[in-house]
Structure 1
Amino acid sequence: MDFFTILKAIILGIVEGLTEFAPVSSTGHMVIVDDMWLQSEQFLTKYVANTFKIIIQLGSILAVVIIFRNRFIDLLGLRRGASAETQDLSEPKRKLKLTHVFVGLIPAGVFGLLFDDYIDDYLFSIKTVLIGLVVGAIFMIIADRFRPAQTKVESVDQITYKQALSVGLIQCISLWPGFSRSGSTISGGVLLGMSHRAAADFTFIMAVPIMTGASLLSLAKNWEYFTLDTLPFFIAGFISAFVFALLSIRFFLKLINRIKLVPFAIYRIVLAVVVYIVYF
């Protein structure tokens, strides 16, 4: 495997890491990059290419786990109780429970199981991705424009089960490639009265179990494609996706309450226009 093939894996990992959790649709970007670049590699059959996408997605998921590690430790009940002398009383008591996350996951999980084959067969194309990018951008602009005047939920710990379920229902539209999981859930959360940061935190936490489960299931089906020829390509992409997801998520979480969703919506529309001109 030559240097340029490894470089291609690194660049694809960068695309995944930068876009997986930003509201710009990583799936949309990967479909576009796949058609423009990934398929040009002769050693990458359709199945090897799909396995590579799973690998780099796991790199992005690992970045979320690292960033939210304390939150996941609490959710799983793995933290030993702090004594009265050592507990920081200035820190608000955390209320987000694992059951909130599961409630948010149920709708998309059910819809995904029901329509998985249809989505794979009919919705993974440049045209459908462009539709998802534009319609998703409009939804994000609407969310910023018509969000409640007063934020009801400043922290992820204030999310109710009803809000978790509502965000989960809204997440179902992200099954359309190009719409973006984080774009739909953050927009939905904002419309429900959450701060942008609270909605983003819940989105990232909720993404880990569903993405990990789907990725590991797909990985088990494609294990035969791990060979000495493909392993360097996979490793380079995984590391690249992990590093850049780590950087982009930290940057995104610091900015989201200030810049809101409109700048990301504008980027999506510009991207859709550019890709349309190039392709059509």
Structure 2
Amino acid sequence: MKALIMGLVEGFTEFLPISSTGHLILAGSLLDFTGEKVKVFEIAIQAGAMLAVIWEYRVRIGAVLGGLGSEPKARRIALNVVVGFMPAAVLGLLFNKQITAVLFKPVPVALAFIVGGLVILWVERRARNNPVAVRVQSVDDMTLLDAVKVGCAQAFALIPGTSRSGATIIGGMMFGLSRKASTEFSFFLAIPTLLGATFYSLYKQRDLLTMADVPMFGVGTVSAFISAFLCVRWLLRYISTHDFTIFAWYRIVFGIVVIATAHFGLVNWAE
């Protein structure tokens, strides 16, 4: 049951700008579902969310892969995804231990929630009051420099509670991408990022795992896939007529609640 709940949390939060990692840390604390093996589980079930994106964009991804040998546009999209993936991958490999030891705790996550919410409010307000000319309407039109910029923005999501989707979507909008292009490129970046994180974590922590863990990981991955698929479909409709202000306020309120309950001893957030 705990694996099922954690999978649902992962799927419903992975592609929204509210931080899936932060929610998993907080949910695990409330469920008394913590420890080194759980940290591996939290990363591994991201593969379920990633598979939801692959399924949703299966035709587009198939066209890109099929056109790598002959289509310049397909090669450009693939190269942009690889380049955008690299900053977070390199920094993650270099600083994974330090980040996990210091920041994978409820209160630092809550602080990141609040800071991230304030950043989203600032970006959305700037977009309304002083709109930046949108240079890139579609992922097909992105340049290599655009991919580098969004990739650097994604690297901030190594801080738990920041939100990978939030960093890439809001970062892309700041750099001149349309809301739709930023969101779709965020989805595409999720594929190598989540897949790489899953395999790296499983390999590094393989001594912690046994065949008895397969049902737990399976339940979490399947529930993450289903909930992420529903969330991706909903988000694509939502961004056509809405901005991300509601998510910013959610982050701020949620972060304040976590800090307040920890300060007054109302919830014993496990670290």
TM-aligned CA distance change 1:159 to 1:79, over 3 Å: closer
Asked whether the equivalents of residues 105 and 168 of structure 1 are also in contact (C-alpha less than 8 Å), the reply is: yes
Q: 1:14 aligns with which of 8, 18, 23?
A: 8
Is the 8 Å Cα contact of residues 44 and 201 (structure 2) preserved in structure 1? Answer: no
- Partner residue of 1:90? none
Once residues 265 and 103 of structure 1 are traced to their aligned partners in structure 2, the CA distance between those partners, rounded to angstroms, is 28
Aligned to 1:130: 110
Which aligned pairs between 1:193-232 and structure 2 lie closer than 5 A?
Answer: 193-223=176-206, 225-228=209-212, 230-232=213-215
Q: What residue identity is the alignment partner of 2:210?
A: F
3-state DSSP of counterpart to 1:259: coil
CA 1:111–1:51: 2 relative to 1, 3 Å: closer
1-structure distance, mates of 2:15, 2:210: 26
* Structure 1 residues 136-155: aligned runs within 5 Å: 136-147=116-127, 148-155=131-138
Tell me the alpha carbon deviations over residues 106-132 of structure 1, each in whole angstroms, 9 at most, x when there is no partner: 222222222112111111111210111
* Residue of 250, 253, 257 corresponding to 2:233: 250
Match of 1:75 among 64, 79, 84: 64
Which residue is equivalent to 1:118?
98
> Tell me, which stretches of 5 or more residues in structure 1 are unaligned?
1-6, 82-92
Aligned length: 258
Question: What CA deviation, in whole Å up to 9, does each residue of 1:171-228 have, x standing for no partner?
Answer: 1211111000110111111111211111010011011112101211211334452323
Q: Based on CA coordinates, which of the two structures has the bigger radius of gyration?
A: 1
Q: Secondary structure at the match of 1:168?
A: helix
Cross-structure match for 1:60: 49
- The answer to whether the 8 Å contact 1:108/1:172 transfers is yes
TM-score (norm 2): 0.88
TM-score by length of 1: 0.85
Quote the Cα distance in structure 2 between the aligned partners of 1:60 and 1:210.
11
Seen in structure 2, the aligned counterparts of structure 1 residues 110 and 235 have a Cα distance that, compared at 3 Å, is closer
Please identify, of 134-143 and 215-224, the stretch whose mean Cα deviation from structure 2 is larger: 215-224
Aligned equivalents of 1:95, 1:233: Cα separation in 2: 38
- Distance in 2 of aligned mates of 1:55 and 1:118: 20
- Aligned-pair RMSD on alpha carbons? 2.2
How far apart, CA to CA, are the structure 2 residues paired with 1:235 and 1:109? Answer: 25
Q: 1:106 to 1:34 in 2, by over 3 A?
A: same
* Contact 1:96–1:156, Cα closer than 8 Å, also in 2: no
| Aligned mates of 1:59, 1:120 — CA distance in 2 | 22
Q: Partners in 2 of 1:80 and 1:116 — Cα distance? A: 36
Matches of 2:63 and 2:30, distance apart in 1: 43
CA apart distance, 1:279: 1.6
2:79 is the alignment partner of 1:99 = yes
CA distance in 1, matches of 2:240, 2:76: 20
Instruction: Calculate percent identity across the aligned residue pairs.
Output: 38
